[in-house]
Amino acid sequence: MLINTSLRDARLVGRDADVAVLDRVLAGAARVAYLHGPGGIGKSALLRHVARQARLSGREVVQVDGRLNDDRRGLEEAAALACVKPDVVLLVDAAERCGQLEPWLRESFLPRLADGAVAVLASRAAPDPEWTLDPGWAPLFTALPVRPLDAGASASLLAARGLAPHRRDAVLAFAGGNPLVLSLAASAAGWEPTGDVLTTLVDRLVGEVPGAAHRRALDVLAQAAATRESSLREVLGDDEATTVFAWLRRQPFVEATADGLVPHDAVRAVLDADLRWRDPDRHAGLRVSTTTAIEPALLSRGAFEEGVVTALRTWRAPREFATSVLLRSHLVPPDSADPVADLRGALGAGVDALRVDPVGIKAHDALVATYIAASGTHRATARRLGVPYGTYRRHLAVAKERLVAHLLAR
């Protein structure tokens, strides 16, 4: 059976910078490279690239699966060739499964690599800081965080998967730049994956969930703008909240921000869709509770304002809206069939509303000329409006303030 490798290569769309780093590692820039990122983000695709490039140059490749070799003896036996044969390329996928062996790898096994051999590890967990704190390893070690694709690369991947253009915006909004989610969502009948696809996505993106309390915490994480321990206490009670919050903050798909724990966009979308599919009543009830009792607002005012300004700047590139933070705001109904279209509609209505405010007429004209019509530089826009540049800047500042205020009041 022949495998269509072009579809596999499509998973490398938008990964030029990551590929360049790995190619330099193969050329001798480091002895150990450590890829890390959440499930489905593309780590295995990058490992396949390394294997392919190594074999093309005549080097032997040893591939180890951490899921099958999660103890010291098994890993040492599977990777032994890299310690005796020069120029071998050792690839360890799912390295988080043997995370307890990381100190042993760093201090005992990897220093024994043969001349010219390199190791590339791929893990959901970030590397231990000791790699770079150790003066011996620091110049030989490269950490490579694998991040979500931007809107342009995501759209290119969907095109490579053969998804019709009119269906792409909805999938982009759902997937949050995660290649696995993009691929599976593109293969589903509608923009939102079916129950079977959601099961696969939850397993791949989240991994094993220890218990029912942890599952409920994931439900809260998906609904709240940011989750604190007090948020979980409202749902789980005092006894379990502390333990489960500590588990959440260690997950590779969660970022700790000033406001609390925030999941990656793709994980949020998948967890939300999964809860809505398996328990619609709980989904509706939890969404109400997290947006009222636990989280008074879906986004902080600062994040909301920044999202509005970014949306204006990218108004003429609709696909950029697929990664807008405003998709998590009150501007988009929770049951929206087309979040991007609803968001653009809300913003457009807000801009139009400035026109009926007598004080905001000039502000409206400045906003439309600058972002909606996009007539060129700010100075060129001021000349077209027939006002001094300083006056134009004041009108534009007023327009942004009034638009944000109007949208927040919706």
φ, ψ for residue 250 (rounded to 5)? -90, -5
Domain boundary among 111, 145, 179: 145
pLDDT at 292: 44
- The one-letter amino acid code at 159 reads A
Answer whether 11's CB lies under 8 Å from 47's CB: no
Note whether residue 215 is domain-resident.
Answer: no
In the 8-state DSSP scheme, what is residue 356? T
pLDDT at 334: 76
Note whether residue 68 is domain-resident.
Answer: yes
pLDDT at 6: 44
* Distance of alpha carbon 294 from alpha carbon 82, whole angstroms: 52
φ, ψ for residue 263 (rounded to 5)? -80, 160
Answer whether 376's CB lies under 8 Å from 297's CB: no
- What pLDDT, in 10s, does the model give residues 368-397? 888 887 656 778 888 888 888 888 888 888
pLDDT < 70 regions, the chain = 1-11, 188-193, 287-300, 356-361, 374-376
What is the number of residues in the chain? 410
Which residues on neighbouring strands pair with residue 36, listed in sequence order?
123, 145
Those residues with Cβ within 8 angstroms of residue 174's Cβ, 6 or more apart along the chain or in another chain: 181, 185, 191, 192, 269, 273, 339
* Distance of alpha carbon 180 from alpha carbon 87, whole angstroms: 32
Note whether residue 214 is domain-resident.
Answer: no
Note whether residue 189 is domain-resident.
Answer: no
Q: Where are the beta strands (DSSP E) in 16-155?
A: 32-36, 61-65, 89-93, 118-123, 141-145
Note whether residue 198 is domain-resident.
Answer: no
Answer whether 58's CB lies under 8 Å from 32's CB: no
Domain count, the chain: 2
Domain boundary among 111, 128, 145: 145
* Distance of alpha carbon 305 from alpha carbon 382, whole angstroms: 24
For the chain, give the longest Cα–Cα distance: 80
Q: Return the number of other C-beta atoms located less than 10 Å from residue 195's C-beta.
A: 11
- Domain assignment of residue 336, given as a range: 302-408
Q: Return the number of other C-beta atoms located less than 10 Å from residue 183's C-beta.
A: 20
- What pLDDT, in 10s, does the model give residues 93-102? 989 888 889 9
Domain boundary among 95, 114, 145: 145
Note whether residue 319 is domain-resident.
Answer: yes
Percentages helix, strand, coil for the chain (3-state, rounded to 5) are: 60, 10, 30
Note whether residue 273 is domain-resident.
Answer: no
What is each CA distance from 298 to 191, 215, 265, 324, in whole angstroms? 23, 21, 14, 13
Which residues on neighbouring strands pair with residue 65, listed in sequence order?
93
How many degrees, rounded to 5, is the angle at CA 335 between CA 333 and CA 336?
65
Q: Return the number of other C-beta atoms located less than 10 Å from residue 58's C-beta.
A: 7
In the 8-state DSSP scheme, what is residue 106? I
* Distance of alpha carbon 132 from alpha carbon 126, whole angstroms: 12
Note whether residue 188 is domain-resident.
Answer: no
CATH assignment of the domain containing 87: 3.40.50.300
Closest CA to 209 of 222, 196, 194: 222
pTM: 0.63
* Distance of alpha carbon 120 from alpha carbon 110, whole angstroms: 11
pLDDT at 359: 53
Coil, strand or helix: which one is 274?
Answer: helix
Q: In sequence order, what DSSP letters do the residues of 8-53 get, joined into one string? A: HHHTTTT-HHHHHHHHHIIIII-SEEEEE-STTSSHHHHHHHHHHH
